[in-house]
Amino acid sequence: MVNQKTFVVLGNYRGGTSVVMGLLQKLGLFIGNNLDNGDKEEYSNYEDLEFQKAKIEDMPIEERNKNHDEWGFKDPLTIQRIEKIYPLLRNPHLICVFRDPWSTTQSMLRHNSPYTRESIFKTNLAMNNKMAVLVWNTEEVLSEQCPVLPVSYEAVVRYPEREVKHLARFLGVSLDEELLQKCTNLIQK
């Protein structure tokens, strides 16, 4: 069981979770075979279409546990329903991606969000607050402790090598110069 882990990336829409998932994939974590790249061939948000907005009972969690010792997923809705998903996960490790709520709001508005600036900002603040509670006291939300790694999107962009090394340590992955370079290249796209 020690080597069996499920990595869950939590964060807001437009909050930096895609770059973190891309890094996890580069570091060798299985994140799915059917990733959403929208309408752009060179881009992926690294969301597995089998998890994307799926009902909890339709998520292929048992199949992934059976076929992969370590795997991960992200879906922006997960933070809103982590209490229900958590008990289904095998040895969960949470990665909470934080991005400045104002930057996230602006990014969502640039991507034609149908919501008002105020409602987006309030939602971003609420989701960041819930993730902060997870980081500092997982027992309060999930009734037990589990490994949690807070990640700042701004830090990933500003200090890519340092942040890739943090992620690699959390995954238990050895990082050589070539792999580190591949990861930092992904961030700089």
pLDDT digits 0-9 by tens, 88-97: 999 999 999 9
Name the band, by pLDDT with cuts 50, 70 and 90, for residue 43: low
Q: DSSP E strands: which ranges in the chain?
A: 5-10, 70-74, 92-98, 148-152
pLDDT at position 1: 47
pLDDT at position 108: 67
- Tell me the pLDDT tens digit for each residue of 50-90: 887 678 888 899 999 999 999 999 887 788 888 888 999 99
Q: Which residue has the higher pLDDT, 146 or 102?
A: 146
**CA-atom Rg of the chain in angstroms:** 16
User: What CATH code is carried by the domain that includes residue 159?
Assistant: 3.40.50.300
Identify whether the C-beta of residue 26 lies closer than 8 Å to the C-beta of residue 156: no
| Structural domain count, the chain | 1
Instruction: Give the residue numbers spanning the domain of 55.
Output: 5-187
Q: Is the pLDDT of residue 158 over 90?
A: yes
